[in-house]
Amino acid sequence: MTAHGEGVRDDGPRDADETAAQPRPAEGITVPEPQDRARSIPEAAVARLAVYLRVLSGLAEQEVHTVSSEELASAAGVNSAKLRKDLSYIGSYGTRGVGYEVAVLIGQIERTLGLTQQHRVAVIGIGNLGHALANYGGFPNRGFPVAALFDLDPDLMGVPVGGIPVDHVDDIPRVCAERDITIGAIATPAKGAQDVCDRLVQAGVRCVLNFAPVVLQVPEEVEVRKVDLAVEMQILSFHVARRSQEPQESGDPGDGVDGTPQSKTRDVNAGADPVDGMVVRS
């Protein structure tokens, strides 16, 4: 069985279960390099690729070797057409009658998301949320081990959390450089977040995950992902309030316009538009 991950995309995505083989590029047509394709992927599709990777990793752990577009789409909470479109961005179209090879697709998505390189995480702000982040097993299991912790509280200095001793925020530049930190997770109060971010940038960190309720000002080369849990609660409240005002139609409340049952669970990382997710780019 052969999976075709590097085919040429011409006029749109192909159905994974209808494509027998990858087409060869016509004479004079240049096949985009993987890095060029990655630059052209919409941010919302990147978020969904991460969800597909999570699902595929679970399938691999269960020793599932192939998966159809319909099965993968259902498990990821999207429709199969959107999934095929997303996977076409990375040059993966599947095989007719088989679908996608799980191991091959995992490799393609990991390369696209930059997961073939080592990442090490620093958590700044060791309160309740910082403790939870430091002890979260999902980070190392997915290739993002927490390697440094920082706080201002003198009582926390040297105290191990999740097996890692806490350092003072003044030591961010030195410790991050020594431990090759590539991602900083800011879990401080709002008033201290910008100073912490500046120290991370000074240390050469170019990826910041911001849990503080503030928009950070960063240089152009620094990427920021903002996670505001209160905002997510407010969005949920809006949807609940809207549904309570909708007139009850015949049939099940969860049925779509075509009578197909709709999922009640929405994964914000699988959502289509950046405005629906948790992204803030300063």
Q: Please, what are the domains in the chain?
A: 34-112 (1.10.10.10), 121-229 (3.40.50.720)
Largest CA distance in the chain: 68
- According to DSSP, the β-strands at 183-186 and 164-168 are unpaired
SS3 content of the chain, % helix, strand, coil (to 5): 40, 15, 45
pLDDT of res. 96: 79
> pTM for the complete prediction?
0.63
Q: How many CB atoms lie within 10 A of CB 233?
A: 10
Q: How far apart are CA 155 and CA 170, in angstroms?
A: 15
Beta-strand runs (E) in 47-178: 66-67, 100-101, 121-124, 146-151, 160-161, 164-168
Binding residues: 125-130
Binding residues for NAD(+): 125-130
Q: Which residues of the chain have pLDDT under 70?
A: 1-39, 248-282
CB 72 within 8 A of CB 56: yes
pLDDT of res. 91: 87
Q: Is 242 exposed, middle or buried (0-12, 13-18, 19+ CB in 10 A)?
A: exposed
- Tens of pLDDT, residue by residue over 119-151, are 899 999 999 999 999 999 888 878 899 999 999
